Amino acid sequence: MSNALPGSSPADRAAPSKPVLTPALILRNGGAALIFVTLLIGAHVLQTTPGYGASAALSLLIGAALGVAFERGRFCFFCIFRDVIEHRNAGPLYAILTALAVSGIGYAIVFGAFLPNPFSGRLAPDAHIGPVSLALVAAGLLFGVGMALSGACISGHLYRLGEGSGYAPLALIGALIGFGLGFRTWNWLYVTVIADAPVIWLPHWLGYGGALLLHLAVLSVLGFALLRYVSPLPPRPARQLDIKYLYEALFRDRWNPLVTGAIVGVIGVVAYLRVEPLGVTAQLGSLARTVMHTSGMLPARLNGLDSFAGCATQVVQTITDNGWLIGGLALGAFGAALIAGRFQPALPRANGSVAALVGGVLMGWGAMTALGCTVGTLLSGIAAFALSGWVFGAAVFAGVWGGIVLRLHRWT
């Protein structure tokens, strides 16, 4: 069962049944419709509000699209990694590989317009290209352990918020605390390892074409090597492509990983082209930074922090574009979960609550130190041909592996 490609197992593809309009169904679909109308109206209001404008409106919609894609495709880095590590099922991992391949192609195209000469010594504007240091590795490892402990990464918790998870709020509160700890340790880490760490951007040496070729080659090798861990698809009965089939494919069954990945990749490119690279921690970090700033717990100076591109944090009094994106993500996931009947609010258990909180703290510290999480540093970094993305990704995977070996994920 666990070896099957999602969307193809008997449980995911229930036998076609006659639709019965129950009150619950009406409530669910009505609620979802209400959410998506609210999102559209919200985007329109934002667009016309001075101080916010098109980028805020677009961020809200990009977030909503991401929330729907994450929820419908179960694009949860922890679940995907766990399927590989624990169940030896690499099927869902193809979502990440596809997302990276598609967004890499898109980034190469956008880079060509943003920074026509990659050899100029400059980095593409605000792309998530970070320093490669021991701190990045440590951040990735702890982030991975935090994922195992709390049951999802930060973006995973954000979309599970929309599914009614009781652990998600705790993990996100933990992440805020972790960010605070990250600010406290930043100055020491910066002077010790980060300041002198190389910022390695492949197009500096290979150009955009060369970097993209290498990018696709590495992803192809990975995809090829993992093929043996994908179980064969069960035979599909021939079906009429009608409205019912479309409804089920879109709103009920889990999306195919390849489709989910491609959609996430396209969303990432659109976000970079129009607003900023995808990331889900900038607003959380800014919130932590602002709270600490006003209560005087922030170090007087965070050396060099604002000079790196990444999920940048600032002391802010307003909701940033990233805040709208996060809000859109949770709401979009909520809407998608409602339609699919996957909105199942659950109260957390005591043990699991502690695990979620502690895992959140680890993830917050990791995301602050790595200048982003699985979305901001892994997805947006690798898509931007930054070595930091690959290093962080490998470290996170190792951290999750360690966490699963230690059976930390059994707590939540």
Partner 1 sequence: MQRKSPTESEDLVDRTLLRTAGAAVGGALVMLAVVALIFFVRQPASTLSTTAPSAADASSAPVTVNLPREPRKFEDVVVSTEWLAQNLDNPKVRVIEVSVVPGVYERGHIPGAVNFVWTTDFVDTVSRDIIAPDRFQELARAAGINNDTTIVLYGDNDNWFAAWGAWVFRQYGAEDVRLLDGSRSKWEAENRELSTRAPTYPPGDFTVRQRSDLRVFLPDVLKVVRGEEQKVLVDIRSPDEFSGKIFAPEGFQELAVRAGHIPGAVNVPWKKALNDDGTFKSVEELRKLYAEAGVDGSKPVITYCRIGERASHTWFVLSEILGYQAALYDGSWTEYGNSVGVPIANPAGTIWGVK
Q: Which is nearer to partner 1, 173 or 206 (CB)?
A: 206
Q: Which of 276, 284, 384, 404 contacts partner 1 by CB under 8 A?
A: 276
Residue linked to tokens 């590590």? 85
CB-CB contact of 385 with 211 (8 Å): yes
Q: How far is the CB of 91 from partner 1 (least distance, A)?
A: 13
Binding residues for partner 1 restricted to 157-176, rule: CB under 8 A:
none
Per the structure block, which two tokens stand in for 396? 């996170």
Q: How far is the CB of 369 from partner 1 (least distance, A)?
A: 21
Q: Which is nearer to partner 1, 88 or 244 (CB)?
A: 88
CB-CB contact of 375 with 66 (8 Å): no
Q: How far is the CB of 356 from partner 1 (least distance, A)?
A: 30
> CA 110: distance to chain centroid?
21
Binding residues for partner 1 restricted to 97-156, rule: CB under 8 A:
113-116, 119-122, 125-126
Q: How far is the CB of 269 from partner 1 (least distance, A)?
A: 13
Binding mask 45-84 for partner 1 (x = CB under 8 A): ----------------------------------------
Q: 222-231 burial string, b = 16+ CB within 10 Å, else e? A: ebeebeeebb
Q: How distant, in Å, are the alpha carbons of 131, 137, 188, 197 from that of 193?
A: 10, 11, 8, 6
Q: 169-196 burial string, b = 16+ CB within 10 Å, else e? A: bbbbebbbbbbbbbbeebbebbeebbee
Pairwise CA distance, residues 110 & 115, whole Å: 8
Number of chain positions touching partner 1 (CB under 8 A): 36
CB-CB contact of 332 with 63 (8 Å): yes
Q: Which of 138, 171, 202, 280 contacts partner 1 by CB under 8 A?
A: 202
Binding residues for partner 1 restricted to 283-322, rule: CB under 8 A:
301, 309, 315
What are the residues binding partner 1 (CB under 8 A)?
A: 1-4, 88, 113-116, 119-122, 125-126, 202, 204-206, 210, 214, 217-218, 221-222, 225-226, 228, 231, 273-276, 301, 309, 315
